[in-house]
Amino acid sequence: MVGLGSPILSLMFNGFDSAKERPSVKTTFPEGPEEPVFITPPPPCLWLLPLPGLAGSGSDGPRAPAWLASAIQLISAPSPGEPWLSPGLALRPISVRMPTRRWAPGTQCITKCEHTRPKPGELAFHKGDMVTILEACESKSWYRAKHHASGQEGLLAAGALREREALSADPKLSLMPWFHGKISGQEAVQLLQPPEDGLFLVRESVRHPGDYVLCVSFHRDVIHYRVLHRDGHLTIDETICFCNLMDMVEHYSKDKGAICTKLVKPKRKQGAKSAEEELAKAGWLLDLQYLTLGAQIGEGEFGAVLQGEYLGQKVAVKNIKCDVTAQAFLDETAVMTKMQHKNLVRLLGVILHQGLYIVMEHVSKGNLVNFLRTRGRALVNTPQLLQFSLHVAEGMEYLESKKLVHRDLAARNILISEDLVAKVSDFGLVKAERKGLDSSRLPVKWTAPEALKHGKFSSKSDVWSFGVLLWEVFSYGRAPYPKMSLKEVTEAVEKGYRMEPPEGCPGPVHTLMNSCWEAEPTRRPTFRKLAEKLARELRSAGATGHVEGQDADGSTLPRSQEP
């Protein structure tokens, strides 16, 4: 920043590109000293430099000469041992410190500039690369971080980073901004003007509803390719088949194959925003080449959940191939980018390839239902059950504070980490609080009466579900409302029926369950109150939460000692 209210040059620095030798300012004064001036400032503060030979004045005081703006430029630091200033010039610091944002370990950031020639100990990076903060250095302006693509660790400056942004849920955000819906061939021709080889769009056929047409500009003409449905796949030439339109467009963008030319430039539908561009800009778009997929570890409502590795890190990957469903899952992705809490499964990023890959942290011990069923009360003590319940309540308290409703809270959607931390997962149904949502996909035994009957969802309906989850936990994974059909459950609950406590369930916990099952939503506790009561109950239980076959610190015992 340069300010000239008097013959003084103010230089403000905040963040540098070199760990050991901070960048300098090189100034040349045609009307002043013949030799250039080198200035290497210390950490972020304001420096005042008297300017010799500053000429010009007027009614508003001294004016800066025209050469000054172009005479100041950031360059690399002088060699070690060179003086900060050339002889004859004095530099005087004043104590104006710039505020510096402190990032916690684990924070994911994007680099704002190029740094391809690092000094020893520094991290090399390109603009737009992703890194994870490992620790802050003693100087608040420096961090040690891990580069996502290279896997290397090193130092880099705070000024070279920006934190990943949360993605806004926007109805205009589209995985297929080139899809124009049902328009005629003539309308497509008009949209693909002026002619440009490789300019394209996809439309729904007017003559054949449900079919698609790929329209490509080539040699000042527009060629229309009908997309055929074959055995649940899409094809143009009946030789190469695709899972969906995104897969098809991705293929022909790399290889023209059976069409006239490669797809070069999408004609975006008016008002549509490219999800790919927005994800990349916000820092959530990952690179397919670094992802390795492994065995299936779960089954979600919209497809399999696979184990995998991304840059050496174990991950869980949800693959959604249906383009309509993938588009719907953008809302889930947007919600997850806003959530940072130890008791929520963390989103790592998204890959756009043959649909949508949602890449999440891998939580090693699986879901809470299976965890409890395979160990039972002989191996998992009551304080540990209270600990799991408290973790869930704290995660849900965070969602409650963000005015988000999970709508599918159940023990099957709670994952247990290696160090026995319970994390809320499966945000497929998460919505901001509102009324009138489709109830056809709702889990009846876990859903509050007002949500089933009137479609009224709120944090209070999540509290009802939490009461059912508590029953699951203290029954060691049994299905709620045993031996009752969905219709019987709905009718019984409406008439005031509430489940009896599981065997061995502490009285205060059963009282909590019943408070969650109040018929009037406003009489149910908040998640904050639930967390407070569970924490109090855990303290009064006295013993430490423990799972046989695992140390108290969460580390696994030798396999021979495991159950």
- Binding site per annotation, positions: 318
As a whole number of angstroms, the distance between CA 225 and CA 210 comes to 15
- Gap between the Cα atoms of 51 and 36, Å rounded: 13
Q: What is the secondary structure of 83-97 as a DSSP string?
A: -SS-TT---EEEEEE
> Apex CA 487: angle with CA 486 and CA 490, to 5°?
85
CB atoms inside a 10 Å sphere around CB 397: 19
Per the CB < 8 A criterion, the answer to whether 308 and 317 are in contact is yes
Q: Looking up tokens 């490509």, which residue turns up? A: 216
The whole-angstrom separation of Cα 460 and Cα 508 is 20
Percent helix, strand and coil across the chain, each to the nearest 5: 25, 25, 50
Work out the angle between the directed axes of helices 527-541 and 382-401 (0-180°, nearest 10). Answer: 160
**Nearest partner of 293 among 264, 258, 318, 268, judged by Cα:** 318
Q: Could you tell me if 470 and 513 are in contact, meaning their C-beta atoms sit under 8 angstroms apart?
A: yes
Name the active-site residue from 129, 323, 331, 408: 408
Indicate the annotated binding residues for ATP. Answer: 318
Phi, psi (deg, nearest 5) at residue 105: -55, 140
408 is catalytic: yes
Provide φ and ψ at 206, rounded to 5°.
-80, -40
DSSP 544: P
Q: Which helix (H) or strand (E) holds 131?
A: strand 130-136
Question: How far is residue 209 CA from its own chain's centroid?
Answer: 37
Beta strands per DSSP E along 254-343: 265-266, 273-274, 291-300, 303-310, 313-320
How far is Cα 494 from Cα 490, in angstroms, rounded to an integer? 6
Torsion over CA of 176, 181, 185 and 191, rounded to 10 degrees?
A: -60
What is the SS3 assignment for 157-180? EHHHEEECCCCCCCCCEECCCCEE
Give catalytic residue positions: 408
